[in-house]
């Protein structure tokens, strides 16, 4: 009987229709259109006839929610790996074309000399003596533009620019104006434009929006509890404040983290919980594997396995169903089969080009072979993304 105390009311969204489904807790909940199933008994509270609990409202698979508890995400994360990936693949198909994978290019427009103390990063001035990385000046506008044109010709649809700064407040007006011009010029190519420039305030976020910025990257890196092991030069709250300024300016949010820095599984869950409980999910969630750089405090750390990465990606996909989940740094240490598993788990973006800021990355020609073998297609720009009108005028471009 539907009124039985052992029944659960599940509500949520299947394709475009919100659905409220009443199911017995003892039976799998099945999304018929996807053949995706999860066992209600695993996800449900105790609703036996003796239980004082009332039937609970449990959101359906693929529902967009920001009310995840950490325990719920831990439970998803701890699922048997193949079940987890199957569920994530099913959620992926609710919201995305699983054959489409976006190719992005990341350029370091200002390398080294950063005053921050991120222990994983070769660009911190704190480790420059041991890494040997020299600080460089902000690139010229024309050189950045040419790099973006080359990236577009090679098939990238998003061009990301990173500057090793604490934030734009650290630099003068002329340099900041040049960055705004870079944004406007690259956006005029019809590419999505992302920048990662450190901490920004409301005014700077608004200036970037006016210049035509599509997305701003600011990773949370890890859980709040582990953050102090990664840097002490800023607080977790600073990161969240920057994300709020980006969101407020109407710019798409790109925020993710890094695994393999010595954190435990609980920290990986803590990171995903932070991201999945933001008032709106980031449109873009990069999941990076540490690329250990000689001379940094994290020198010599072993890269996480492809299976560890796939577990994080699958959990990100299930908890943030509509976001772009980006298989980011660390792909060089993965086999094609590892990467295929990550795509199955819901990753739908990679960075291509031979460098990711200062660390090596996979050859484009190898990636193209992989796309062919796996039947993947390059995702066009601006698919189901927070659409921004083309900038009509930009003070920075004069
Ligand atoms: S990760 Fe960014 S903020 Fe941290 S040291 Fe490197 S460049 Fe600076």
**Same domain assignment for residues 107 and 58:** no
To test the pocket of ligand 1, the residue of 107, 111, 114 to mutate (highest count of ligand atoms within 8 Å of its CB) is 114
Tell me, in angstroms, the distance from the centre of ligand 1 to residue 338's CA: 28
**Same domain assignment for residues 138 and 49:** no
Residue 88 located in a structural domain: no
Greater pLDDT, 61 or 243:
243
**Same domain assignment for residues 197 and 57:** no
Residue 76 located in a structural domain: no
Q: Give residue-wise pLDDT tens across range 176-222.
A: 999 999 999 999 999 999 999 999 999 999 999 999 999 999 999 99
pTM: 0.83
The answer to whether 330 and 291 are in contact (CB under 8 A) is yes
Residue-number span of the structural domain to which 42 is assigned:
1-63
Residue 172 located in a structural domain: yes
**Same domain assignment for residues 12 and 160:** no
d(Cα 297, Cα 287) in Å, to the nearest integer? 21
Contacts of 332 (CB under 8 A, 6+ apart): 291, 360, 361, 362
**Same domain assignment for residues 364 and 220:** yes
From 49-53, 120-124, 375-379, the region with the lowest mean pLDDT:
49-53
Q: Give residue-wise pLDDT tens across range 241-288.
A: 999 999 999 999 999 999 999 999 999 999 999 999 999 999 999 999
**Same domain assignment for residues 38 and 114:** no
- Predicted local distance difference test score (pLDDT) of residue 59: 67
- Predicted local distance difference test score (pLDDT) of residue 70: 97
The values of phi and psi at residue 324, to 5°, are -75, 120
Residue 24 banded pLDDT, cuts 50, 70, 90: very low
**Same domain assignment for residues 53 and 116:** no
The values of phi and psi at residue 143, to 5°, are -65, -40
**Same domain assignment for residues 147 and 204:** yes
375, HSE (Cβ side, Cα atoms, 13 Å)? 4
- Predicted local distance difference test score (pLDDT) of residue 286: 97
**Same domain assignment for residues 21 and 107:** no
- Predicted local distance difference test score (pLDDT) of residue 21: 34
Distances in whole angstroms, Cα of residue 23 to Cα of each of 11, 29, 79, 90, 329: 11, 7, 21, 19, 42
Q: How many domains in the chain?
A: 2
- Predicted local distance difference test score (pLDDT) of residue 361: 78
Q: Whose CA is nearest to atom 4 of ligand 1?
A: 118
Residue 71 located in a structural domain: no
**Same domain assignment for residues 127 and 234:** yes
**CATH classification at residue 250:** 3.20.20.70
**Same domain assignment for residues 339 and 222:** yes
Q: Whose CA is nearest to atom 7 of ligand 1?
A: 164
The answer to whether 328 and 287 are in contact (CB under 8 A) is yes
pLDDT of residue 354 exceeding 80, the answer is no
Residue 89 located in a structural domain: no
pLDDT of residue 22 exceeding 50, the answer is no
Q: Average pLDDT, stretch 3-21?
A: 32
pLDDT of residue 41 exceeding 90, the answer is no
Q: Average pLDDT, stretch 114-120?
A: 95
Tell me, in angstroms, the distance from the centre of ligand 1 to residue 124's CA: 6
Residue 78 located in a structural domain: no
Q: 132-163 burial, b if ≥16 CB within 10 A, otherwise e?
A: ebeeeebbebeebbebbeebbeeebbbbbbbb
Contacts of 113 (CB under 8 A, 6+ apart): 123, 125, 128, 135, 136, 164
The values of phi and psi at residue 107, to 5°, are -120, 135
**Same domain assignment for residues 249 and 343:** yes
Q: Give residue-wise pLDDT tens across range 84-104.
A: 999 999 999 999 999 999 999
Q: Average pLDDT, stretch 141-164?
A: 95
Residue numbers annotated as active site: 114, 118, 121, 160, 194, 254, 326
Tell me, in angstroms, the distance from the centre of ligand 1 to residue 395's CA: 28
Alpha helices in 280-363 (DSSP H): 306-319, 336-344
Alpha helices in the chain (DSSP H): 40-43, 70-77, 81-95, 128-131, 141-153, 173-187, 202-211, 227-230, 236-248, 265-276, 306-319, 336-344, 364-374
Share of residues in the chain with pLDDT > 90 (%): 73
């Amino acid at each position: 009987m539907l009124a039985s105390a052992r029944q659960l009311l599940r509500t949520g969204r299947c394709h475009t229709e919100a659905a409220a489904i009443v199911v017995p807790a003892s039976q799998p909940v099945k999304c018929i259109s996807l053949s995706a199933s999860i066992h209600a008994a695993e996800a449900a509270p105790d609703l036996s006839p003796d239980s004082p609990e009332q039937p609970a409202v449990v959101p359906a698979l693929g529902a967009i929610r920001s009310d995840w508890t950490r325990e719920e995400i831990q439970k998803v994360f701890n699922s048997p790996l193949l079940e987890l990936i199957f569920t994530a693949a099913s959620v992926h198909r609710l919201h995305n074309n699983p054959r489409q994978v976006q190719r992005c290019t990341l350029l370091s427009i200002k390398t080294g000399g950063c005053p921050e103390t991120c222990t994983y990063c070769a660009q911190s001035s704190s480790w420059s003596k041991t890494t040997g990385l020299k600080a460089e000046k902000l690139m010229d506008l024309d050189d950045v533009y040419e790099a973006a044109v080359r990236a577009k010709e090679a098939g990238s649809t998003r061009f990301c620019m990173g500057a090793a700064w604490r934030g734009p407040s650290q630099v003068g007006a002329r340099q900041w104006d040049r960055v705004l011009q870079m944004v406007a010029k690259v956006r005029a190519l019809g590419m999505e434009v992302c920048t990662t420039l450190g901490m920004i305030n409301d005014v700077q976020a608004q200036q970037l929006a006016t210049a035509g910025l599509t997305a701003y990257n600011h990773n949370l890196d890890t859980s709040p509890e582990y953050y102090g092991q990664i840097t002490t030069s800023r607080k977790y709250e600073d990161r969240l404040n920057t994300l709020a300024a980006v969101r407020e300016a109407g710019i798409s949010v790109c925020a993710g983290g890094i695994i393999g820095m010595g954190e435990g599984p609980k920290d990986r869950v803590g990171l995903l919980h932070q991201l999945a409980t933001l008032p709106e999910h980031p449109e873009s969630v990069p999941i990076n594997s540490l690329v250990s750089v000689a001379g940094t405090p994290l020198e010599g750390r072993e890269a996480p396995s492809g299976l560890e990465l796939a577990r994080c990606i699958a959990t990100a996909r299930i908890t943030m169903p509509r976001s772009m989940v980006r298989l980011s740094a660390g792909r060089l240490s993965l086999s094609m089969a590892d990467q295929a598993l990550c795509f199955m788990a819901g990753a739908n973006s990679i960075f291509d080009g031979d460098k990711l800021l200062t660390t090596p990355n996979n050859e484009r020609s190898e990636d193209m072979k992989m796309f062919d073998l796996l039947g993947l297609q390059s995702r066009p720009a601006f698919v189901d993304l927070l659409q921004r009108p083309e900038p009509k005028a930009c003070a920075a471009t004069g």
